[in-house]
């Protein structure tokens, strides 16, 4: 069974940082491209970014609102995806979901974690 478990969310002041983690199991994590999607309270879904598998180059791409402030990384030895969030703004308040993105056939978020809430407030 595929499982994605996010952690690391919490309350942080504007300008602060948090590192979100996503522990993956039930599939070959090293072969998978992964993504982060966020959802502000009462709002729709917003793509944050995606990271390729190391085999495919391991590079990350980001949405414009987070580019330069957020960094995705992965540790395939630990089956864990990370999202380092810096210079946080109140607009970054959201539930952050980790998802699978591409496993060789099509681009879609097949599997989602339960989400971790990040609240940016003074």
Partner 1 sequence: DIQVTQSPSSLSASVGDRVTITCRASQSISSSFNWYQQKAGKAPKLLIYAASSLQSGVPSRFSGSGSGTDFTLTISSLQPEDFATYYCQQSYSTPVTFGQGTKLEI
Between strands 116-120 and 10-12, the pairing is: parallel
Strands (E), the chain: 3-7, 10-12, 18-25, 33-39, 45-51, 60-62, 70-75, 80-85, 94-102, 116-120
Please give the size of the binding site for partner 1, defined by CB under 8 A: 21
Least Å from the CB of residue 110 to partner 1:
6
Site string for partner 1, 78-107 (x = CB under 8 A): -------------------x--------xx
Does the footprint of partner 1 cover residue 114 (CB under 8 A)? yes
Between strands 3-7 and 94-102, the pairing is: unpaired
Does the footprint of partner 1 cover residue 7 (CB under 8 A)? no
Does the footprint of partner 1 cover residue 40 (CB under 8 A)? no
Binding-site ranges for partner 1 (CB under 8 A): 35, 37, 44-47, 50, 61-64, 97, 106-110, 112-115
């Amino acid at each position: 069974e595929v499982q994605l478990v996010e952690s690391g969310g919490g309350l942080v002041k504007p300008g602060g940082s948090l590192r979100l983690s996503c522990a993956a199991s039930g599939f070959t994590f090293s072969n998978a491209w992964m993504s982060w999607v966020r959802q502000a309270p009462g709002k729709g879904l917003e793509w944050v970014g995606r990271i390729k598998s190391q085999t495919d180059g391991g590079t990350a791409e980001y949405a414009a609102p987070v580019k330069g402030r957020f960094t995705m990384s992965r540790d395939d030895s630990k089956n864990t995806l990370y999202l380092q969030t810096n210079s946080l703004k109140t607009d970054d308040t959201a539930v952050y979901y980790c998802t699978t993105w591409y496993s060789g056939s099509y681009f879609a978020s097949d599997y989602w974690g339960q989400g971790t809430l990040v609240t940016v407030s003074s």
